[in-house]
Amino acid sequence: MKDPDVIRIFDTTLRDGEQSPGATMTTEEKIQIAEQLARLNVDIIEAGFPAASPGDLMAVKEIARRTRDVAIAGLARANASDIDAAWEAIREADRPVLHVFIATSEIHLKHKLKLDKEEALQQVKRMVAYARNLSPTVEFSAEDATRSEWDYLCRVCEAAIKAGATTLNIPDTVGYTLPHEYEGLFRYLRERVPGIDEVVMSAHCHNDLGMGTANTLAAINAGARQVEVTVNGLGERAGNTAMEEVVMALCTRPEAFGNVSTRINTREFLPTSQLVSQLTGIPVQPNKAVVGANAFAHEAGIHQDGMLKNRLTYEIMTPQSVGWGDTKLVLGKHSGRHGLDARLRQLGHKLSAEELKQAYRRFVAMADQKKHVSDSDLLYIVESGMETPAAI
Ligand SMILES: [Zn+2]
């Protein structure tokens, strides 16, 4: 079950992602996404928070019934009625995962839960044991772990393991930690908590300071073997760690992470990203890593020239590996003669050196006027010998 060289991908697009303002989805839409996540080959789909509403419970239940060959997790606070609701929702899944959480930071305990540390510790023992009685797989999360006292967190983790937790999640709930600090926390726990090598450690990061991916990768360096991520980095506030970024970092730089791998079918990244964007109505920024419209587009002349000679000059992964067609050489005012020549050849025009010089001069004049020079603009330039259509 526990393979030290495989990073398990726990997708929470349907739970944490759906908590993005405006991202609410219908049950049918959630099922469509769950089916796409199964094609992407994620290990675990967190389908929702069943105690939140009867509608949420029904949606999670439908996903658990209909999505096969993947583990389905349901989230629950550390109390019996939440755990009962989550279990009711996921128990028909091929591999159900009960995900129980409680906050462990002073700020959350005091102001939100009004519990002291000992009371919270007792609740962890009781409720993880209660969950384990129902489900063979139980994940425990220490909410706001990165702002919790490290020694208290060690005691909580030890209690959760003794009570039967099979996965321990150390979330950076508020996007506060830094890569070296998060890595240090994982190492600290691994050195001090009895039995921790018997369970899977999990990272769950938010992007409030834009460090979700960096922090998640740092946790992998320190032994995390599960990462909690979302498609397009959807999620509360500034979002969660983006799945496509973490997975492609591992694919592109395996040697930097001890050659770990994932089971993800990366060619499904683009279709998954587009489906999630379409169903949530939340667009993907053009300069988004991996799945943004410009992620494999090159406009600068020097870059286009390099790409035409050898794509390794400016591309660290192929667009096809994540579901795109070919690289786009965008023609704009930063482009050079080689880029223009390559595009004109694709359009069926093979110009002599002198003709190309002329066409390039007209192209630069047009590119100064327009952000983007289209294929029909290029044909116009070549065929009419002018830079601006007379009628415009
Ligand atoms: Zn979260």
Q: Which pLDDT tens digit goes with each residue over 259-310?
A: 999 999 999 999 999 999 999 999 999 999 999 999 998 888 888 888 888 8
Residue 305 and residue 311: Cα distance in Å, rounded?
10
List, for residues 116-173, the tens digit of each pLDDT value.
999 999 999 999 999 999 999 999 999 999 999 999 999 999 999 999 999 999 999 9
- Considering only CA atoms, give the Rg of the chain: 25
pTM attached to this predicted model: 0.90
Identify the CA nearest to 169 among candidates 362, 29, 8.
Answer: 8
Residue 49 and residue 113: Cα distance in Å, rounded?
19
Mean pLDDT of 329-340: 86
Residue 363 and residue 377: Cα distance in Å, rounded?
9
CA angle at 147 for the pair 241 and 155, rounded to the nearest 5°: 110
On whether the CB atoms of residues 116 and 155 are closer than 8 A, the answer is: no
What SS3 state is found at 141? Answer: strand
Q: Distance, CA 141 to ligand 1 centroid (Å)?
A: 10
Token readout for 224 is 């995390």
Q: Distance, CA 16 to ligand 1 centroid (Å)?
A: 6
Q: Distance, CA 237 to ligand 1 centroid (Å)?
A: 10
* Residue 24 Cα to chain centre, angstroms: 18
Residue located via tokens 């390559």:
342
Q: Residue 169 — left, alpha, or beta (φ > 0 → left; ψ -120 to 50 → alpha)?
A: beta
- Please name each of the domains of the chain with its CATH number: 8-280 (3.20.20.70), 300-384 (no CATH)
The residues, any chain, with a CB within 8 Å of residue 152's CB and separated by 6 or more, are 104, 117
pLDDT class of 391 with cuts at 50, 70, 90:
very low
Q: Distance, CA 234 to ligand 1 centroid (Å)?
A: 10
Mean pLDDT of 345-358: 90
On whether the CB atoms of residues 170 and 199 are closer than 8 A, the answer is: no
The residues, any chain, with a CB within 8 Å of residue 355's CB and separated by 6 or more, are none
Token readout for 206 is 């938010």
On whether the CB atoms of residues 189 and 157 are closer than 8 A, the answer is: yes
pLDDT, position 389: 59
Helix (H) / strand (E) element for 329: namely strand 328-329
Q: Distance, CA 19 to ligand 1 centroid (Å)?
A: 9
3-class SS string, 360-389: HHHHHHHHHHCCCCCHHHHHHHHHHCCCCC
pLDDT, position 306: 84
Residue 273 and residue 120: Cα distance in Å, rounded?
39
Q: Distance, CA 359 to ligand 1 centroid (Å)?
A: 54
Average pLDDT, the chain: 93
Q: Distance, CA 230 to ligand 1 centroid (Å)?
A: 10
pLDDT, position 387: 63
Q: Distance, CA 332 to ligand 1 centroid (Å)?
A: 41
pLDDT, position 392: 45
On whether the CB atoms of residues 279 and 32 are closer than 8 A, the answer is: yes
Residue 346 and residue 308: Cα distance in Å, rounded?
13
Rounded to whole angstroms, what are the CA distances from 56 to 38, 88, 390?
20, 12, 60
Q: Distance, CA 9 to ligand 1 centroid (Å)?
A: 15
Q: Distance, CA 10 to ligand 1 centroid (Å)?
A: 12
Q: Distance, CA 240 to ligand 1 centroid (Å)?
A: 7
